[in-house]
A and B are shown apart, each in its own frame.
Chain A
Amino acid sequence: MTFDTIRFCVFLSAMLLIYYCSPEKIRKYVIFVGNILFYISFDLKVAVMAVFTTAITYYSGLQIEKNKYKNKKTAFCWLTATVAAIILVLGIFKYLNFFVETINIVLKWFHANTSMPLVQLFAVIGISYYSLKAISYLVEVYKGNMEAERNFISYGDYILFFPQIVAGPIDKPESLISQINTSLHYKEDLMKKAVVLLASGYMKKLVIANLAAGYVNTVYGNTVSQTGLTCLFAAFLYSIQIYCDFSGYSDISIGLAAMFGIQVRNNFDCPYLSVNIKDFWRRWHISLSSFLRDYIYIPLGGSRKGEIKKIRNVLVIFLASGLWHGAAWTFVFWGLYHGILNCLSKNVENIERLKGFLWIKRMVRVLGTFILVTLGWIFFRAESFGKAFEIIRKIVFETSVSIGAIQETILVFTGDSMSLAYFLTLVIMVFLLFFREYRYTYGGLKDAEENKREKEALFWTGFCVFAILCFGNFGTQGFIYANF
């Protein structure tokens, strides 16, 4: 049951009805039941595993709380053992076959006649997300930034909160748990925000991402018969697709939480308007970046222990980010690529200080960053290094711009004359989306009055509803980040 299905609409409507008809005190129980039902809709085994993880980490949190002042060592043991167990389970379900495949490749290099069999495991939806949430909770309790939650249901709602199960955001425990405990009531400002975010999120996903997905899948599925220009366009479209897919999901997720009166932090902040890679990572998948910064980068020493160690720490968090995204060497490479670019990037504040023709410099930097990010996405999307390099080779050596080549590139959408209509519609939608984002980041809406911003939000909501109904591609693609 993903967010773009009729079943989910029915589920959500029923949830909201029961939720707001219930007394405020029992609303967290309603959410908990909803979370479990949502999980069961994927697979009962998945639900059992998630609840089991929740129970273990809940108990561990209480033990850490109990010992953190009197017996720090015991608390540390509880923290280490539980985090190790979480990572072990995550490793087994997500990376076991990756390691087996890697070992088999190494054995092949040495001409060994033996190979290890792959292990058939069921896919655990959301394991990457709830595992990180649990780790975040345990660390925060250990550090004394919050007290361990004594109510299992409140804790369960934090870990298993259904709007965040499939693809995050990975929210901080303090804020979410305190909201679950104290303020589960109707909030008009959040409900307004929900309407805008849901319309915008579904538009990004159903109209732009799903339309781009058809094109991208065709090209990446058969690179041999594609022209250089087609590969270039597919690479560009994938950048658009993954952004609209994931930020669309995040908008929906934040909007759904807001419908229940819960405020969740933003996960994206117009990342394709970034002026360099460092800036990009402050705006892309903010919750994961914050997690990696708070729980890996800073404990490793951050930027405090010299330039070499800072570079090492940056590379470590980006390798971890790459591995977190997927169990393949292409993801590891993608992480390393971003790590290196990050080390080479200046701080954004230094760029903002540049004077004269700022907007031209900014445009050039935005374009340059987008191209670098797009290059990284090729490795992220391709099933193998061979395919990624094939696409890059085609882009570099076989791209020619002529009327015929452009026609051939556009024709990939549907294979007939309707391709042009799909292409132009996509271009218009992407333009409108980025134009709006630009206005929010740099333009007239950045510091506009509330009234003006609200008018714009109302117009955008109406437009998104129209676009979803008329141009939405329903039931064709799942969310990309649900796979990670």
Chain B
Amino acid sequence: MKRYIRAVVAGMLVALLFCMVKNFIGHKFPNSSYGMQAAIGMEEIDHLFIGSSLFRQGIDILTLEEHMEGKSYIMSYNGNQPVQILEEMRMLLRNDVKIENAYVDLYVYSAALRPAISDTKLIWDLDFSGKVTIYKDMVTYSEAGFPEFFDFFIKSNNEYMVMYPVFYSILQSEFYKGGNIRETIGSTSEILDNLGTPGDRAGIDPVQKKALREIVKLCKEENINLYFVEVPKYYTLAETDYYIRLRSELESIVSDCKYAKAEEVVFDNENPAYYQDLFHLSAEGRRTYTKNLINRIEEIKAEEVVK
């Protein structure tokens, strides 16, 4: 019987070891094309775009490289919230990454939520202290209990770790400096017009508001030029009353900052070929939007000089 108990204990120990490797050194596994570690590897970033999947699908890295001077990088995680963006920026700075300009995604639906992780890849990429900070936020503001602890530190990314060699080569082929380089095709008006919108929310979450203010403060302290960017949503969503209301609430928090609003960038958000769904742009939409976003950023810079 002892041998059977030993087998069970051995299985538990291997699982523990596996989780320790994942939590303490997983983020150091090489990844040169996607996520936080690739950004850290760059050491100096002139244009850091940091946000949700809207950035990954909405900003074209090749267009950035063509039209913007210096090194660009897109750091994105699905549903990335301001509290997480703040921690990601802190981790980059902890790792001595020099950032010249930061462009932060202003996305109402992630800012309207209590702190929670939508993309487990973020947990993988954070160092242990970053993981603890994010988890503490979840405990404090979202009443996370044992199931969340188990998901966060034990369950998340195990499949990713086992399949790491496969993933590494896939990420290498699909991403370049954090940007999606796959030729994703656009949709049709029949499909997009019939897609349901995510609906209303109670308002911007106070914890996310605070994190946005912290991001502004951090950038000031570190002499980083901060811009907020709103990726244009398909018109059926962008023109709803609740979206407009939520967005104006979000804008009021960053009213003193440089901000490229969606409607200030020349872009046809009624063209279904530019969209995969109500939020994410197609490859064609991505290129068009990025080109015009760069122009808008140049205008903002010029306005700053005049001021």
Residues of A near any B CB (own CB < 8 A): 188, 191-192, 195-196, 199, 416-418, 420-422, 424-425, 428, 454, 458-459, 461-466, 469-472, 474-475
A421 and B7 contacting across the interface, CB-CB below 8 Å: no
Query: Bound complex: CA of A56 vs CA of B120, how far in Å?
Result: 55
**Total residue contacts A-B, CB cutoff 8 A:** 87
A192 and B4 contacting across the interface, CB-CB below 8 Å: yes
Query: Bound complex: CA of A191 vs CA of B5, how far in Å?
Result: 11
Residue of A nearest to B5 (CB): A195
What is the interface of chain A mostly: helix, strand, loop, or mixed? helix
Contact pattern, B 59-90, Cβ under 8 Å of A = 1, otherwise 0? 00000000000000000001000000000000
A425 and B8 contacting across the interface, CB-CB below 8 Å: no
Cβ 8 A contact of B11, one of A416, A421, A461, A472: A461
- Tell me the smallest distance from the CB of A142 to a CB of chain B, in Å: 42
B121 cross-chain contacts in A, Cβ below 8 A: 417-418
A466 and B15 contacting across the interface, CB-CB below 8 Å: yes
Q: Which residues of B115-156 are within 8 A (CB) of A?
A: 119-121, 147, 150, 154-155
Contact pattern, B 152-168, Cβ under 8 Å of A = 1, otherwise 0? 00110011101100110
Cβ 8 A contact of A465, one of B3, B15, B160: B15
Knowing A425-B159, A459-B7, A461-B8 are in contact, say whether A420-B167 is a contact too (CB < 8 A).
Answer: yes
B1 and A464 contacting across the interface, CB-CB below 8 Å: no
Residue of A nearest to B150 (CB): A474
Given contacts A418-B120, A420-B170, 14 further A-B contacts (CB under 8 A): A188-B1, A191-B4, A195-B8, A199-B11, A417-B121, A417-B170, A417-B171, A418-B121, A425-B162, A425-B163, A458-B4, A462-B7, A466-B15, A469-B154
A470 and B18 contacting across the interface, CB-CB below 8 Å: yes
Query: Bound complex: CA of A418 vs CA of B166, how far in Å?
Result: 12
Knowing A191-B1, A458-B3, A470-B18 are in contact, say whether A420-B166 is a contact too (CB < 8 A).
Answer: yes
A424 and B14 contacting across the interface, CB-CB below 8 Å: no
B167 and A421 contacting across the interface, CB-CB below 8 Å: yes
Tell me, yes or no, whether B215 is within 8 Å of chain A by CB: no
Contact pattern, B 3-31, Cβ under 8 Å of A = 1, otherwise 0? 11111101110110011000000000000
Residue of B nearest to A426 (CB): B159
B159 and A199 contacting across the interface, CB-CB below 8 Å: no
Knowing A420-B167, A421-B167 are in contact, say whether A195-B4 is a contact too (CB < 8 A).
Answer: yes
From B5, B10, B120, B166, name the one whose CB has the most chain A CB atoms within 10 angstroms.
B10
- Tell me the smallest distance from the CB of B192 to a CB of chain A, in Å: 14
Cβ 8 A contact of A421, one of B19, B119, B154, B162: B162
Residue of A nearest to B16 (CB): A469
B163 cross-chain contacts in A, Cβ below 8 A: 420-421, 424-425
Knowing A191-B1, A420-B166, A421-B159 are in contact, say whether A465-B11 is a contact too (CB < 8 A).
Answer: yes
B5 cross-chain contacts in A, Cβ below 8 A: 195
Q: What are 22 A-B pairs with beta-carbon distances under 8 A?
A: A191-B1, A191-B4, A192-B1, A192-B4, A195-B8, A418-B121, A418-B160, A421-B159, A421-B160, A421-B162, A422-B159, A458-B3, A458-B6, A461-B4, A462-B7, A462-B10, A462-B11, A463-B11, A466-B14, A466-B18, A470-B158, A475-B147
Taking residues whose C-beta sits less than 8 angstroms from the other chain, chain B's interface range is: 20 to 34
A-B pairs, top 3 by smallest CB distance, nearest first, are A465-B11, A421-B159, A469-B15
A472 cross-chain contacts in B, Cβ below 8 A: 155
B159 and A462 contacting across the interface, CB-CB below 8 Å: no
From A417, A424, A428, name the one whose CB has the most chain B CB atoms within 10 angstroms.
A417
Contact pattern, B 100-123, Cβ under 8 Å of A = 1, otherwise 0? 000000000000000000011100
A199 and B162 contacting across the interface, CB-CB below 8 Å: no
- Tell me the smallest distance from the CB of B241 to a CB of chain A, in Å: 28
A471 cross-chain contacts in B, Cβ below 8 A: 158-159
From A188, A195, A464, A466, name the one whose CB has the most chain B CB atoms within 10 angstroms.
A466
- Tell me the smallest distance from the CB of B113 to a CB of chain A, in Å: 18
- Tell me the smallest distance from the CB of B170 to a CB of chain A, in Å: 7
From A425, A463, A470, A471, name the one whose CB has the most chain B CB atoms within 10 angstroms.
A470
Query: Bound complex: CA of A421 vs CA of B166, how far in Å?
Result: 9
A466 cross-chain contacts in B, Cβ below 8 A: 11-12, 14-15, 18
Query: Bound complex: CA of A428 vs CA of B154, how far in Å?
Result: 20
B170 cross-chain contacts in A, Cβ below 8 A: 417, 420
Query: Bound complex: CA of A459 vs CA of B5, how far in Å?
Result: 12
Query: Bound complex: CA of A234 vs CA of B287, how far in Å?
Result: 36
B120 cross-chain contacts in A, Cβ below 8 A: 418
Query: Bound complex: CA of A147 vs CA of B298, how far in Å?
Result: 94
Query: Bound complex: CA of A417 vs CA of B35, how far in Å?
Result: 13
- Tell me the smallest distance from the CB of A369 to a CB of chain B, in Å: 31
Residue of A nearest to B159 (CB): A421
Query: Bound complex: CA of A188 vs CA of B7, how far in Å?
Result: 16
- Tell me the smallest distance from the CB of B91 to a CB of chain A, in Å: 21
Query: Bound complex: CA of A458 vs CA of B159, how far in Å?
Result: 24
